[in-house]
Amino acid sequence: MAADYGLIPELQLETVLARARTGDADEVAACLPRLLDALVGGDLSPVVSIEVVELFDGHGGHAIVDLLDAWWFDVLQRSHGEHRNGVGPEDVLGLLAHTEPPMVRWLHPWLDSLDGPPAIHLATAIVDGFPAPTWSGRTDRRQQVMAWTRTEAVINGLALIGATHIDGDTMSRVLDILILGEIDA
């Protein structure tokens, strides 16, 4: 991403963040690989993760959005217990809500892959109400996601495909939330 990664790998993460915060495009470009590694690795607090994603969104262009696409797909495909702390689907989707692309960009891959771990992640997120702290300041986008979960495509996808991966009690709770409206938005 940056022509010269230079000394960035040797610097403390706080120093890399300070350099990236300058707003200078060259500094940001030099810091992006290190910050991306820390973000994906779960090395940042939710607040700093939000700042980094917003920084990426403001300076990274299409290459960063493509990387975020790949990261999101990878997070969805991992089974429960394989995610690093703070880097589960609910956390990452909350971070992606801090980017410019509309939420539908991030929701389509979830719907398209409900045969496996993504179904379990979606059921868990619905039951838990998408509680991740990374949704901070993005109430409208969180509500968009909650409304999306109530669409016919999601309900049918979970009931017809995803249900084979979700335990009966959880699936029952999901359908109660989605169909009967017991959802806390």
Asked whether the predicted pLDDT for residue 111 surpasses 50, the reply is yes
Is the CB of residue 16 less than 8 Å from the CB of residue 35? yes
pTM reported for the whole predicted model: 0.87
For residue 43, give the DSSP letter: -
Task: Residue count of the chain, please give it.
Answer: 185
pLDDT digits (tens, 9 = 90+) for 112-162: 999 999 999 999 999 999 988 999 999 999 999 999 999 999 999 999 999
Crossing angle, helix 89-96 and helix 61-77, to 10 degrees? 160
Provide the pLDDT for residue 8.
62
**Residue 183 carries which DSSP code?**
-
Contact call for residues 90 and 132 (beta carbons, < 8 A) = yes
Inter-residue contact 101 to 61 (CB < 8 Å): no
What separation in angstroms does the CA of 126 have from each of 19, 60, 75, 153? 38, 31, 17, 15
pLDDT of residue 19: 86
What's the mean pLDDT in 46-60? 86
Give the three-state DSSP class for 44.
coil
Of 151 and 26, more confident: 151
C-alpha span between 34 and 70 (Å, rounded) = 17
Residue 182's alpha-carbon distances to 55, 67, 126, 127, in angstroms, are 36, 35, 10, 10
Q: Which of 93, 83, 82 is nearest to 126 (CA)?
A: 93
What is the token pair recorded at 59?
């300076």
